[in-house]
Amino acid sequence: MTELFLVRHGETEWNRERRIQGRTDIPLNETGRAQARATGALLARRRWDAVLASPLSRARETASLIALELGLPGPELIDGVIERNYGAAEGLNFHEVDERFPEGTEVPGRESREEVAERVVPALVELARQRLGQSLVIVSHGGAIRAALSVAEPGVSHGMITNGSVHSFRVIDGTLRLIAFDDPIEFESIGDDTGALSVQNAVEARDRELT
């Protein structure tokens, strides 16, 4: 049995501006760095075998700051947990998306939710196979974590996946299972210096409405 604690990266300016990021490589802002350090300090209450991350810089830096708190080497990169590709919608807010791509209009280049799940979940299961029995911190993205949740608990509507939040899973006999959405570590990780929860990624807010 392998434990995978998926962490959403810290805040970026596009999160603050409620723009769709997807694969666009937007760095953390200072609030995001504070969130990463706070999450790392709380994760340090447990023992971990490694920190891993999506290759996008906002995830890499979040993971690096967490690794410092845990006294572990810098993150290993896992391509499979990169954020959903939102294609031509990236950089837009939802008002702009609705104007350019009215309901029923295909967004060029956008991955479907099913495609994201088909990429993310096998990557996590394979990681668990390679690191059997380990406890791992994996810094990823709202869309990717949402895909893992949709497979681990199909049909369940979870809340918003906030910046810096922690969501714990186990892989048992090759199957991804949820331990806790918003693991209790997450509730303690939100402090006065980590940003308002109402200011989060617009993509994640819209995904919650649709699931």
Residues that are catalytic = 9, 83
- Cα angle 165, 201, 197; round to 5: 55
Contact 37, 169 (CB under 8 A): no
Q: What does the alpha-carbon distance between residue 205 and residue 1 come to, in Å, rounded to a whole number?
A: 32
Q: What does the alpha-carbon distance between residue 74 and residue 105 come to, in Å, rounded to a whole number?
A: 42
Task: Give the residue from 179, 181, 136 showing the smallest Cα distance to 161.
Answer: 181
Q: Which DSSP symbol is given to 169?
A: E
Residue 187 burial (10 A CB sphere; 0-12, 13-18, 19+): exposed
Task: Give the residue from 82, 64, 80 showing the smallest Cα distance to 28.
Answer: 64
The owner of tokens 């947990």 is 81
Q: What does the alpha-carbon distance between residue 74 and residue 107 come to, in Å, rounded to a whole number?
A: 36
